[in-house]
Amino acid sequence: AKREGRNSIRLFKTENHLQANKDEAIMEAELYKALEQDELTVYYQPKLDAHTNQVHYEALVRWFSPVLGTVPPLKFIPVAEKTTLIQDVTRTVVYKVCADIKQTPELFKNARTSINLSAALFEPELIENHFITIINECGVDPASLEIEITENMLMADPIKGMEIIEHLKKIGFRVVIDDFGVSYSSLNYLRSFSLDGIKIDRSFISQIDQHHSEKDISIVHFIIQLAKKLNLYVTAEGVETKEQFDILTSLGCDEIQGYYFSRPLPLEKIKSTIEHFFDYILQKNHGYLEAA
């Protein structure tokens, strides 16, 4: 009976594995079609510069599939990364961001827009072909774009990481570290790489709330102070509540991103959402914004 049990577990695992492969194959085939049929769109999540109230954006890809429904990027990006489809996804995102910047200059005036760079493109020619060429062709100023690179990507191959960052910087992009603090990594890269900023991972931000956990606030406080000492612009991601917002601004955090300010939105919803937010905090006499 014991042996049978073990066999049936093994069979179950194999079946799960086969099912997962099948799901992935279906998703890959659908993604291939999606790219041909232009099903991918880009949403923008507004971010707020806490010192100047300037709004910046992060571009986040969205896939509304008629067959699979809404597929979150954390599901399909890893599938795309196993194939060359990631190159097409990236080209599509970069192209759409550039087109939006060109077509609605009033929304993007003085704003920086960040784009997430996949580890699968961490090769100079791939970056050139699927990223830089498109931006040049569209005539978008690289200084208005920011590239987000995760800590994991850098630590996987720090030498290559350094080369790529130098290359991106030379062209004129800002470069920031995304999901800062999640991976077990050396802080050494903060001083050796020419970065513009870091984004504190949501897992740290979600810990700071009305319970005022001293330890969690101390960690965030430390990260902000370290960033300041190193002349890095510091963003908090995943800010969902007024408490978090207030604590982070009082700690001197430069930029706030999260549902408290705005969710990621289609382009046409940005203007009214931002206006609504500013009205709301002015009405509440939030004390943070000076009435302009």
Residues forming contacts to Mg ion in the complex (CB under 5 A) are: 116, 148, 178-179, 237
Query: Token match 């009435």: residue?
Result: 291
Residue 258 C-beta: closest distance to Mg ion, Å: 10
CB of 30 or CB of 175, closer to Mg ion? 175
Position with the least CB separation from ligand C2E:
258
Residue 291 C-beta: closest distance to ligand C2E, Å: 26
Residue environment code for 38-68, b if the CB has 16+ CB neighbours within 10 A, otherwise e: ebbebbbbbbbbbeeeebbbbbbbbbebeeb
CB of 30 or CB of 112, closer to Mg ion? 112
Residue 77 site contact among Mg ion, ligand C2E, none (CB < 5 to 8 Å, cut-off depends on kind): ligand C2E
Residue 235 site contact among ligand C2E, Mg ion, none (CB < 5 to 8 Å, cut-off depends on kind): none
Residue 11 C-beta: closest distance to Mg ion, Å: 37
Residue 252 site contact among ligand C2E, Mg ion, none (CB < 5 to 8 Å, cut-off depends on kind): none
CB of 113 or CB of 257, closer to ligand C2E? 257
CB of 93 or CB of 198, closer to ligand C2E? 93
Residue 59 C-beta: closest distance to Mg ion, Å: 9
Packed helices 73-81 and 2-36: angle between N→C axes, nearest 10 degrees: 90
Residue 131 C-beta: closest distance to ligand C2E, Å: 11
CB of 175 or CB of 239, closer to ligand C2E? 239
Residue 60 site contact among Mg ion, ligand C2E, none (CB < 5 to 8 Å, cut-off depends on kind): ligand C2E
Site residues (vs ligand C2E, CB under 6 A): 45, 60-61, 72-74, 77, 93, 116, 118, 148, 178-179, 202, 237-240, 257-259, 264
Find the largest Cα–Cα distance for the chain: 76
CB of 30 or CB of 265, closer to Mg ion? 265
Residue 215 C-beta: closest distance to ligand C2E, Å: 21
CB of 17 or CB of 276, closer to ligand C2E? 276
